[in-house]
Amino acid sequence: MGFLDIVFYGFVAVVIIQVIFYVFFFSKFAFAKKQKVSQKNIPVSVIICAKNEAENLKAFLPSVIAQDYPDFEIVLINDASKDDTLEVMEHFSKAHSNIKIVNVKSIEAFWGNKKYALTLGIKAAKNDYLLFTDADCKPVSKQWIKKMSSHFSNKKSIVLGYGAYGKINKSFLNKLIRFETLVTAINYFSFAKLGMPYMGVGRNLAYTRKEFFNANGFINHIKIRSGDDDLFVNQMATVRNTALCYTSGSFTKSTPKKTFDAWFKQKRRHVSTAKHYKLKHKVLLALLYVSNLLFWILSILLITTLYNWKIVLALFLTRIILQYTVMGLSSKKLKELDLIFFIPFLEIFLIVMQLTIFINNLVSKPNHWK
C-alpha cells in the first residue's frame, strides 16, 4: 500500500468521524425546536465582577438596570480596581436602590484571582437564583433576565446562555472572533442537548446558590486562575440539572478585541482551562479538533494530486454541505448568519490559530485576570 493509499483511507475515516459529529452531535442543536418563554418572576441576583472597568460600566450597566423584570438586584463586585471602577459603582448605587456593591481588596493568598472576588459577591447576593455577566457586556434586550430565569425549575439549576460579540464592519479579525464564539456555542449547546454539558460562558450564565455551595464554590479549581465559568459548569452540570437558553433577546453582546495580539492572549487564557475538563469531554473535543485539522490537510493533499479525485470530491462536498446546513441553522438561531459565507476561510484560519495557541501554552503559561 502506497503513501497516497494510506492518505486516502485516512481521509475516508476522518470524513466518517466528521459526519458522525455533524449528524449525531451538532444537529441536536441545529434542528432543536423554538423555545417558549414563560415568565416565572423568581427573585434574581445579577452578578457582575469588574476589575478596572470604569468606562465599560458607564456604557453597559444602564442596560442591565433597565431590565423589564419585577424582582432583581444587581451585585457589583469591585475586584481591587486601580481606576475609578468603585466610584462609578457608587454613582449608580446612589440612584438605584437595587444595586449592592462588594468591594474586594487584594490579599496575598488570592491575588489576582477572580474566583475569590466572585465568591464574596455570591455570598453577598440575597437571592437564590444567580445570573452572571461581565462588565463589558450588554443584554441585547430588556427581556434578558426574564428569558434566562424562565429556564430554572425544580430540576434545572444551571442555565447556559449565549454571549455574542459586537460586529465591526470590514474587519477579518472581528469575523474570526465571532466565528470562534459561534463554533464554541454550537459545541456546548449541542453537547448539552445530547446530555453531556461541559462548559458555559461567564458572559451569560445562570445557576442557583444551592448549586454553588453544593460544589463548595470554586474550591476544586481555585488554584487555576481562569475557569470560573467553564470549569464550574464542567464540574457540576449534568443532563438532569442543565437547561439551555437560546431564544433571541436572551443573548448578551460584548465588546470584541480590536487587535490580534489582544485576542490571542485572551484565547490563550480560555484554552488553558480545557485541560482540566472531564476526560470524556477532553477526548471528544480533541477528536473533533484533530478530525477538523486532518480533513483540510488530507483533502488538499488528495485534491492537488488528483488521487481518486471523484470519490475524494464527493466525500469533501458531503462534509461541506453537512457543515453548511447544520451551522447555517445554528447561526440563524444565534443571529450570526452573516458569517456563513466565510466558513471555509474562517475555519482554516481558526484551526491554525488553535494549534498555535496550544503550542504557545505548552511553552509558557498564559497571563490571567487583569
C-beta of residue 211 within 8 angstroms of C-beta of residue 157:
yes
| Distance separating the N- and C-terminal Cα atoms of the chain | 55
Q: Give the pLDDT confidence score for residue 366 in this predicted structure.
A: 60
The span from the CA of 287 to the CA of 18, in Å, is 9
Selection from 199, 217, 174 nearest residue 270 by Cα: 199
Q: Model pTM?
A: 0.94
Burial class (CB in 10 A: 0-12, 13-18, 19+), 138: buried
SS3 at position 312: helix
- Average pLDDT per run of 10 along the chain, which is 370 residues long? 92 98 97 86 97 96 97 96 96 97 78 84 98 97 97 96 95 96 98 97 97 95 87 97 96 93 83 89 96 97 93 97 97 96 94 89 63
- Apex CA 254: angle with CA 250 and CA 256, to 5°? 145
Q: Give the pLDDT confidence score for residue 213 in this predicted structure.
A: 96
What are the distances in angstroms from CA 296 to CA 271, 292, 317? 22, 7, 12
Q: Give the pLDDT confidence score for residue 367 in this predicted structure.
A: 56
Q: Give the pLDDT confidence score for residue 108 in this predicted structure.
A: 58
Compute the half-sphere exposure of residue 299: CA atoms within 13 Å on the CB side of its CA.
23
Q: Give the pLDDT confidence score for residue 217 in this predicted structure.
A: 94
What are the distances in angstroms from CA 359 to CA 103, 183, 298, 365? 38, 21, 21, 11
Strands (E), the chain: 44-50, 72-79, 99-104, 129-134, 137-139, 158-160, 163-165, 205-208, 242-244, 252-254
The span from the CA of 73 to the CA of 125, in Å, is 8
C-beta of residue 147 within 8 angstroms of C-beta of residue 139:
no
| C-alpha torsion sign, points 171, 254, 77, 266 | negative
Q: Give the pLDDT confidence score for residue 18 in this predicted structure.
A: 98
